[in-house]
Structure 1
Amino acid sequence: MLIVVVRTLILYVVVIIALRLMGKREIGQLQPFELVVILMISELAAVPSENVGVPLLSGIIPILVLLSASMTFAYVSLKSERARDIICGKPSILIDRGKISEKELKRNCYNISDLLEELRLNNIPNIADVEFAILENNGQISVFPKAHKRPTIPEDFQITPPYEGLPLTIIMDGKLKKNYLEQSKKDIHWLNTQLNTQGIQRIEDVLIASLDSSGNLYVQAKENKKPTKVKNSVR
């Protein structure tokens, strides 16, 4: 039993390393060859972990071979546009200038019901509002509504909104992130003052404290205390 546990853990670590080396994309964003590699890796890892009679290397070596092949394909497709088209395919325009392409639907085995469903998922219930719909290589659809149907943006009104940077999580689960506190150009005295205004005496009692680029500190204490947003007057 102990041997099975050890073998399983070793294969688990190997598979995790292999997937990490392949990148951080979600399953729905994988290219076809990457999805095939993942499916084969999971199958190869299952055999040695279930059958003690199968040498451990019989599972690890094929996984490493598949990983090498995947990384080679990824590198080749990165360097060569022609190879990328062969390995990954090309996007297909399902709706071109407001008109559905029946030829592309048939070529991709895509029916009208699937197309309408994807449009609804993109918050476009009316197909008449679509200018372009492109079926990407990963199976997702990019939808471009007609100009008079797209949401307005500040640029349409010649408005330049203020810059919004990423918020800094200064405290997480009762632990102070000193590097983020320094990056925000604040000190521990300022932080304690802000927490005291919320009736919080210790950093350990904070579930999360996040500071945005406008100087607003969001604090949520532990023990089901209500989160509070504090306006920072010291910049």
Structure 2
Amino acid sequence: MPDWIDVLIRGILCIVVLFMMTKLLGSKQIAQLSFFEYISGITIGSVAGEVITGLDKNISHGVIVILLFGGITYAVDFFSLKSKKFRDFAEGKSNVFIKDGKVMEDSLKKEHYTIDDLNALLRSKNVFKVADVEFAVLEQNGDLNVLLKKENQPLTPKDLNIKVGNEKEPQTVIMDGQILDNSLEQAKQTRQWLNIELEKLGVTLDNVFLGQVDSYGQLTIDVYDDKINVPSPQLQPLLMSMLKKSQADLESFALQTDAENAKKMYTKTSKKIQEAIDLLTPYLKG
């Protein structure tokens, strides 16, 4: 039998054996490796390489193996797109570890996970109590996705019926002490505006390591000298404070005056400012 056919057969056999071993060891081999499992994986791969190519150092055999692995990988991806059953077999299925707040011990055993492994995965998701979890599933890639119980989920503005403004990506307008004109243009600002803002913060351009403009047109910077305390931007909180003060003053004026026309004017204006405050709150929080 020709050598290249022998290498081809050995390659296919090794792929099948390695695949079955990986399926047997579970998803833990993919993502959550211990030191022993890591060493074991390297050793198995090295041994498989030697078994496939042999020890004759024939470069053509190595090329055959590379093409074989590449072709099989492509074929698996192709058939995975065409068939869900094949995809489940080749890539595995997600496995539920916690359901309705209860740990699925059989699922843990199937994937060779201990309760310590589960707790470690939960801690990586900032969850420190199993009792806080409603549902947790181990994905095919070994990552654990967690759904907290409703009472343990953080509140969102939607839960409180609060409208919030849309956020856009910040524009980096200064990098390594250099102004990026394209980003500054996308932020709809000018160099003159940037120089004024830097002057307000008490820093010079050559001392700025990074400068960004957010979607509200506010500049934040990071300087080279970490000993310099850069004041936080106060434009938005200050504007909100001024609006609230004006609204409160108008209410006070309405209560103090005896003139009906003036009282109505103060009350009406106060309501308009309150409407403006409600409208601008999502944009001027801070």
RMSD: 3.4
1:164 to 159, 167, 179: 167
- Amino acid of the structure 1 residue aligned with 2:222: Q
Question: More strand by proportion, 1 or 2?
Answer: 1
1:100 to 87, 99, 103: 103
Inter-CA distance 63–116: structure 2 relative to 1 (3 Å threshold):
same
Q: Which residue of 1 aligns with 2:139?
A: 136
Q: Which residue of 2 aligns with 1:91?
A: 94
Distance 1:166 1:223 in 2: 26
Is 2:214 the counterpart of 1:212?
Answer: yes
Q: Which residue of 2 aligns with 1:179?
A: 182
1:193 to 193, 196, 206: 196
User: Cα distance, 1:185 vs. partner?
Assistant: 0.8
1:1-235 correspondence to structure 2 within 5 Å: 28=31, 66=69, 69-70=72-73, 73-78=76-81, 80-201=83-204, 203-224=205-226, 225-231=228-234
Q: Give the paired residue count.
A: 187
Question: More helix by proportion, 1 or 2?
Answer: 2
Distance 2:216 2:101 in 1: 42
Inter-CA distance 116–127: structure 2 relative to 1 (3 Å threshold):
same
1:99-142 CA deviation, whole Å, 9 max, x = no partner? 22222112111122222222233232222222111011111211
- Amino acid of the structure 2 residue aligned with 1:206: V
- Amino acid of the structure 2 residue aligned with 1:216: Q
Inter-CA distance 97–184: structure 2 relative to 1 (3 Å threshold):
same
Distance 1:171 1:198 in 2: 14
3-state DSSP of counterpart to 2:146: strand
TM-score, L = length of structure 2: 0.55
Structure 2 gaps of 5+ residues are: 1-29, 33-41, 47-56, 237-286
Identity between Structure 1 and Structure 2 (%): 35
3-state DSSP of counterpart to 1:156: coil
Distance 1:179 1:188 in 2: 11
Distance 1:155 1:142 in 2: 23
TM-score, L = length of structure 1: 0.65
User: Cα distance, 1:65 vs. partner?
Assistant: 6.2
Inter-CA distance 117–223: structure 2 relative to 1 (3 Å threshold):
closer
- Tell me if the contact between 2:201 and 2:230 (Cα under 8 Å) persists in the aligned partners: no
Inter-CA distance 76–184: structure 2 relative to 1 (3 Å threshold):
farther
User: Cα distance, 1:206 vs. partner?
Assistant: 1.5
Distance 2:59 2:174 in 1: 44
